[in-house]
Structure 1
Amino acid sequence: MSETAATLAVEPRESARLVRRVPLTAPTWRWEPSERWLRGWVGELAVVDSRRPILVWEPDAKVPEYGFPLADVRTDLLVPGEPPAAAYYRPRLPARRWFDLVVGERRIPSAAWTWDVDELDGFLAVTWFPGVLDRWTEEEDRVFAHPRDPRNRVDALSSTRHVVVRDGNRVLADSRHPVIVYETGLPARYYLPAEDVDLSALTEIDGWSKCPYKGEASRYWATADRPDREIAWSYPAPLPVIAPIAGRIAFYSERLDITVDGVAVAGRRAGRP
């Protein structure tokens, strides 16, 4: 057993195998077991291979992290490390320990951590931040960006609502054939046919984002006079469960004026689609 594995050799506490939704100290943590088969890969090596993970919601977190029993992680490849510099790359509260992952000549810093919560002793978190591990799979399907929340729902519904998108006095889109995406905790997004969008008013820009529910948004647009202001995006090849949005264009209601059946859509803080 490696020094790191020996340091981590604590059996998962019984309470962590059960659903936990009550306050520990302050603030509130919760976790619950999952039956999904999770694997995290570096090249063709599964450094995580678990059929008994738990989902852990850190205080005030919208999305969970997975916790893995130590026996399901290649702890022999872990060495003590330091917290990552980027705030968005770390857990919301300080971790008890950080570990780097060493595979052959490759050292991946800040790849795993343990929570500073006694009830979660015996579990490791391994980051899903893009570019750390090479890929993650649930069963045989690839997933990315962050773990899926079992209580998060994403529906793509065809509609005949009248959607108009304006940038000041200019109409960028006018459609009666939107597909509306309703996602738990996020504003409704209106995906419009490309033929209902004034593409002459838009300039395609570099950009991409990934969503574990929708796939990869790989086309983005701005206006010619504001090339730094990202206002629209599209998923050319979304995941099958959200297939109706393929090739359609959606706009940020936070940055433009959008009306639906003549009623203004309230803008909210901008974020990735």
Structure 2
Amino acid sequence: MSIFPTARDVRTTPEGLLWEPSRRRVRGLKGDVTVVDSRHPVLVWEPGVPVPLYAFPHDEIREDLLRPAKNPPTGTHTGSDIFYDLEIDGLSVENAAWTFPGEDLAGYIAFEWFRRVGRGLDHWYEEDEEIFVHPRDPHKRVDALPSSRHVRVEIDGTLVADTRRPVLVFETGLPTRYYIPREDVRLDLFEPTDHSTGCPYKGTATYWSWRSGNGGAGTSGGSAVPPNVIWSYPEPLPAVGAVKDLLAFYNEVVDITVDGEPVERPVTPFTESLTREEAG
């Protein structure tokens, strides 16, 4: 086996799982209790799921905190039928962990991430940096590049942003995102919301919605614009520090022009949820 990870390190199980060893130290905590401290994790991709998760050798987790699940689910993870409840100081978290079927991943246990599914371990670290929602995919790249392109954003014919100093974020599997200085955005046409999301590559985002009554569009009452159409990272992770406090729009639901050329509205994993919010 090669010393460094390559495409050949990715392996396939008969159940259709993809997996590969990771060289990162990974820790998972529930509150202040360290449940996982692993130097030999594996990354696992389930069929049809675009992001990976971690599984860990038994001897690198606190198995004394696990109990056979009282109400194991069905169909939540590929072929899995062995689940565990996590019990810490009288607190029980149902179906917090599970094992995968087959020989390839025998001896490993996976855990849910609270920020992803609403249960499981609260805090995760790769080396000493906290990560959120799901593990970082080693086959995915995120670059934040300052640019002098001319970017204009319109909503229902109203010009809401115009800049020649954007930061372009290129993220594998997603459309280019255009991050714009606040001074170049008509932020008076939007209102902050209490919505937030976490990203393992960029950090925690805050959001704004299009104000109702802006030329017939709004965030309610049959609005043509879904809520939380703008986001920003006030404290981005170091790798994308160039986007700090800049504002980005969902390409999926606004009209963006770059250097005079209209950008086609993409279809992404976010399209369905944005459309559903719009219809609601």
User: What interval of TM-score do these two structures reach, taking the shorter chain for normalisation?
Assistant: 0.7 to 0.9
SS of alignment partner, residue 11 of structure 2: coil
Q: What SS does structure 1 have at the residue aligned with 2:93?
A: strand
TM-score (ref. length: structure 2):
0.83
Shift of 1:224: 2.5
1:269 equivalenced with 2:254 (yes/no)? no
**CA distance in 2: counterparts of 1:35 and 1:232, whole angstroms:** 36
Q: Who is 2:55 aligned against?
A: 67
Where does the alignment leave 5 or more consecutive residues of structure 1 unmatched? 1-17
Question: Counterpart of 1:19?
Answer: 9
1:220 and 1:233 in contact (8 A); partners too: yes
Supply the distance in 2 between the matched residues of 1:257 and 1:124 (Cα, whole angstroms): 45
Distance 2:139 2:10 in 1: 15
State the Cα distance separating 1:83 from its structure 2 match: 4.3
Aligned match of 1:150: 138
- Equivalent-residue separation in structure 2 for 1:120 and 1:151 (angstroms): 21
Alpha-carbon distance, 1:173 to partner: 0.5
What does 1:1-273 align with in structure 2 at a 5 Å threshold? 19-22=9-12, 24-25=13-14, 28-81=16-69, 82-83=71-72, 90-91=76-77, 93-130=78-115, 131=118, 132-225=120-213, 226-228=218-220, 229=226, 230-267=228-265, 268-269=267-268, 271=270
Identity percentage of aligned residues: 44
Give the TM-score normalised by structure 1.
0.85
Aligned length: 250
User: What residue identity is the alignment partner of 1:253?
Assistant: N
Cα shift at 1:84: 5.5
Q: Deviations over 1:205-241 (max 9, x none)?
A: 2210000010000233333342252211111111111
Offset at residue 191 of structure 1 (A): 0.3
Aligned-pair CA distance for 1:80: 1.7
Counterpart amino acid of residue 22 in structure 2:
S
Cα distance, 1:21 vs. partner?
3.1
Deviations 1:47-91 (CA, angstroms, capped at 9, x unpaired):
111101111111232211111001111111111223469x8xx43
Structural RMSD (CA): 2.1
C-alpha distance 21-148 of structure 1, shift in aligned 2 (>3 A): same
1:269 and 1:222 mapped to 2: Cα distance? 21
